[in-house]
Amino acid sequence: MRAYFHGIVCFVSLIVCSTNALLGQELLWKAAAAKAVITPEVKLWMAGYAARKGPAEGKLQDLFAKTLILEDAQGVRFVWVTMDLIGVPKSLRLEVERRAEEEFDLPPSHLLMNASHTHCGPMIRTYQPAGENRPEMIAYSSIPAEQHEQRIKETREYRQFLADQMLALIGRAIKDLRPARLLQSQAKCGFAMNRRLPRGSSFINSPNPSGPVDHSVPVLQVLGADDQKLAVLFSYACHNTTLGVMQFNGDYAGYAQQYLEEDHPGMIALFALGCGGDQNPYPRRLIPYVERHGRALATAVEAALIADPQAVVGSIRAKLDYATLDYGRLPTKEELLRKSQSSDKYDSRHAEFLLEDLKHVGKLPTSYPCPVQVVSLGDDLTMIAIGGEVVIDYAVRLKREVERKNLWVLGYSNDVFAYTPSRRVVLEGGYEGATSMRFPRENLHPAPWAPTIEQRIIGKVFELLKNQ
Ligand SMILES: [Zn+2]
């Protein structure tokens, strides 16, 4: 009886195994990837650190925009666009989204744009004050005022170049779509560390080995005929802030992609940043470290490639919506007038800009729309992509609460408008929870987020996952 039962189990598992193997080997998808160099030809100012006092002085490596396109058996497409840049400005997202829909019939929900947040890329945003007919501004205080007009012009031109390149990439990849199969697996990589260290009643930016992290490195392999590696999409949750040099480079993510492409000729490696808002690579600041971190991450991807990869089959389902993020208590005009006299230059400038907004618009905004996107590849892989500089708590919580196989949680997607702290980080304060909100991006935030931010985003994720 036992032998008979054992025989049935073996027989059943044989069917399951062979079905899985069969599904894994069939080229059920179409896929293509493409890349373009986006290293600026003119010496643009660099983004990320206010301390820089001049434009870029050459490059350590090129910067890239890349795309991966999948098409399922029903002809539904999903497009990833990744970039070695500080962020995804909303204006860039809106232009690429609009033109991709017009030119390629691609719905906005089926386009995911993610930035690596390298702090050694060009400045790509200008600040657009609220209200009608107000001129764009340069919000980097280290750029001399007499240069602002020129800097605005070249930043606009570069952003236009980026949009054109991205559309061209998508067009090129669509023409190149070919039969493919997908494999998902993961490994771990350990150089990311929490960077919010408690000090007195607040937090400083310093390694905190006891703080939360997520060291997983999810990897999606795209294989063509004869198992040729067409592309690999991988993620890690850590700021690209190893370096603050004056030469363009993609930081650890740029090096990881470069090493993978060198080691697999013909393959395109795409990096998508996870919830690394409060994570830094350590150690930092020296070029040998960025190479080591890049190599460590590339090695983790190599490990994932052979670590029990599972076939991804099924159809593409994608949704995109916006979670309304409320600001906390808004400052009154009297408070702003007082703050505009502050000896802290970031406080005073923030207050002055808000007073100007009040003069032109009459009131301050009360909320900001945060993009939240969900894409499922059959039942085998689900990717959640959230806007802003998302802190690690979102990855930890969603991986705990969302009952899906192979869940990826990306930050820095579709609009990098501010930090996206969790409730805990808002209540704790510090840079990611409060003080970073003083810095203008494409728009200006009047106050830190309300603690409801986390529930708004998590609620939107579950709403989108319903019936998907
Ligand atoms: Zn950042």
Among 378, 388, 278, 379, CA closest to 322: 388
The Cα–Cα gap between 187 and 268 comes to 19
Distance 277 CA to ligand 1 centre (A): 6
The maximal CA–CA distance of the chain, rounded, in angstroms, is: 89
Distance 298 CA to ligand 1 centre (A): 22
Over its C-alpha atoms, the chain yields an Rg (Å, rounded) of 23
The Cα–Cα gap between 78 and 315 comes to 10
Distance 332 CA to ligand 1 centre (A): 28
Distance 400 CA to ligand 1 centre (A): 25
- Listed in sequence order, the residues at least 6 apart from 449 whose beta carbon sits closer than 8 Å to its beta carbon are 325, 326, 327, 328, 418, 421, 426, 437
Distance 374 CA to ligand 1 centre (A): 23
Distance 88 CA to ligand 1 centre (A): 12
Distance 20 CA to ligand 1 centre (A): 41
Distance 138 CA to ligand 1 centre (A): 19
Distance 117 CA to ligand 1 centre (A): 7
Distance 241 CA to ligand 1 centre (A): 8
- Listed in sequence order, the residues at least 6 apart from 309 whose beta carbon sits closer than 8 Å to its beta carbon are 183, 184, 185, 221
Cβ neighbourhood burial of 22 (10 Å; 0-12, 13-18, 19+): exposed
Across the 468 residues of the chain, what is the mean pLDDT of every consecutive 10-residue run? 47 44 76 98 91 92 98 98 98 98 98 98 95 90 89 96 98 98 98 97 96 98 96 98 97 98 98 98 98 98 96 97 98 98 96 97 98 98 98 98 97 98 98 97 97 98 94
Distance 290 CA to ligand 1 centre (A): 17
Distance 390 CA to ligand 1 centre (A): 9
Two tokens, residue 31: 């896929």
Distance 55 CA to ligand 1 centre (A): 20
Q: What is this structure's pTM?
A: 0.94
Chain centroid to Cα 198, Å, comes to 26
Distance 238 CA to ligand 1 centre (A): 9
Q: Sketch the domain layout of the chain as residue ranges.
A: 25-327+369-465, 331-365
**Residue 30's beta-bridge partner residues?**
71, 179
Distance 204 CA to ligand 1 centre (A): 14
DSSP string, 175-211: HT-EEEEEEEEEEE---EEE-EEEETTEEEES--TTS
Distance 242 CA to ligand 1 centre (A): 12
pLDDT tens-digit map of 382-423: 999 999 999 999 999 999 999 999 999 999 999 999 999 999
CB atoms under 10 Å from CB of 403, counted, come to 8
Two tokens, residue 154: 């070249």
Distance 31 CA to ligand 1 centre (A): 32
SS3 for 379? coil
Residue type, 166: M
Distance 115 CA to ligand 1 centre (A): 11
CB atoms under 10 Å from CB of 195, counted, come to 26
**Residue 183's beta-bridge partner residues?**
221, 311
Distance 391 CA to ligand 1 centre (A): 10
Distance 383 CA to ligand 1 centre (A): 22
- Own/partner long-range contacts of 106-110 (Cβ < 8 Å, ≥24 apart): 106/77, 106/79, 106/170, 107/318, 108/320, 109/318, 109/319, 109/320, 109/373, 110/76, 110/77, 110/78, 110/79, 110/316, 110/318, 110/375
Distance 175 CA to ligand 1 centre (A): 36
Distance 226 CA to ligand 1 centre (A): 41
Helix (H) or strand (E) holding 360: helix 345-361
pLDDT tens-digit map of 414-462: 999 999 999 999 999 999 999 999 999 999 999 999 999 999 999 999 9
Distance 124 CA to ligand 1 centre (A): 14
Distance 398 CA to ligand 1 centre (A): 21
Among 191, 237, 40, CA closest to 120: 40
Distance 168 CA to ligand 1 centre (A): 28
The Cα–Cα gap between 24 and 457 comes to 34
Residue 181 has a pLDDT of 97
Residue 42 has a pLDDT of 87
Distance 99 CA to ligand 1 centre (A): 28
The Cα–Cα gap between 8 and 15 comes to 11
Distance 389 CA to ligand 1 centre (A): 6
